[in-house]
Amino acid sequence: MLSLGVLLVICLLASLTPLLPLQAPDHTQTELQYSEPLFNPLWISTQQLDWQLVSRSPRITKSLRDELAKLKSKYSSTTPDTAAAKELRYEIRRKAAEIHDTVQAPYRKLGFPTLGSLSRWMVRTRYSLFGGYALNSICGRDLFGRDLVARLCWGARISLLVGLVATIVSLVIGVTYGAIAGYCGGWIDDVLMRVVDVLYSVPFVFVVIFLLTILGEESIADELAFWGINRITVFYFVVGAIYWLTMSRVVRGQVISLKHELYVEAARSLGAGQLRILFWHLLPNLLSVVLVYLTLTIPKVMLFEAFLSFLGLGVEPPDVSWGLLANEGIKVITPVKVYWWLVLFPSIALGTTLLALNFLGDGVRDALDPQLKDA
């Protein structure tokens, strides 16, 4: 229960971060470089939100969206792979970037990262409630004078989202792949499992570097940008796409042990199709196993994201994650002076979350496995 409570608090703080009276995570104050944690005064005055710029943005973006709609309509009537089509695609991307910059301008001016519509509303609400007042740097500041508390809270949003999205991707791929392999059996099972064995032999880091390099190639990146897919979204799905291997093996073994049960034979005798038996009768009986492995996969994915960001291969500025903060912290461990707060607080945040997730996974496993519960 304690681990569940800790996770709920962390998730609540992460989801409500734009509402909290914190300093902007990317607001630089070089005169406060490497300031130590301060508790007095507890509240400080910061820059106020430019409400006039916020009120002008909808009117400007409406005009820009009308122009974008005309460009897309013109592009749809143009022959693909022609010089005119390529020029229109470039204009569409440029116009979309202009709309994005116009919407984000009032918030970037204060030092906020790219915000969605809900987060922008929460930031406006926060400034309506607290004005320009924010919590002091109780966890210190970094090289550029940015508040570490704000960066920890905003970093939690990306780290937790990476863990959740990547785990869901691995869940969908792994469960489907393993269920088909276990249910079909024979040569299909052999071929699918040999593919898994081959992928297991390749280090995950190399796979991620390879995929990110391919997807970051100029023409492919332009195509993804045309459809509104940015680098961080690609990163989410790439990490999830390499963490499905163990899930597929676990599900395959469970399906093999269950596919000859009486309820499966009864469904088959009543005329149920193969897909109906697999997804309607077998997979629901694997829910407990999948749920346990799911709770154990999330911390592994988060740790892998932190490792990649630590190496500079994951989340990139101006976005921030706990792995990126750990990377920044390790750079200040020098023989001259150690800015301990830049190492301690990100480590505590990441370590506490990973421990809570692992304890929760163990608790779920014990609760759903009668043999372990009675042991």
Q: Which residue has the higher pLDDT, 106 or 373?
A: 106
pTM of this structure: 0.82
pLDDT at 179 over 70: yes
Closest CA to 222 of 313, 97, 83: 97
- What pLDDT score was predicted for residue 246? 82
Every domain of the chain and the residues it spans: 45-134, 150-374
At the top level of CATH, the class of 150-374 is: mainly alpha
Cα–Cα distance, 358 to 350 (Å, whole number): 12
Mean pLDDT of the chain: 82
Q: What torsion, rounded to 10 degrees, do the Cα atoms 120, 123, 129, 132 define?
A: -130
Q: Does the pLDDT at position 370 exceed 60?
A: no
Q: Does the pLDDT of residue 125 top 90, yes or no?
A: yes
Residues 272-325 have pLDDT tens digits of 777 788 778 788 888 777 877 787 778 778 777 777 777 767 777 777 888 788
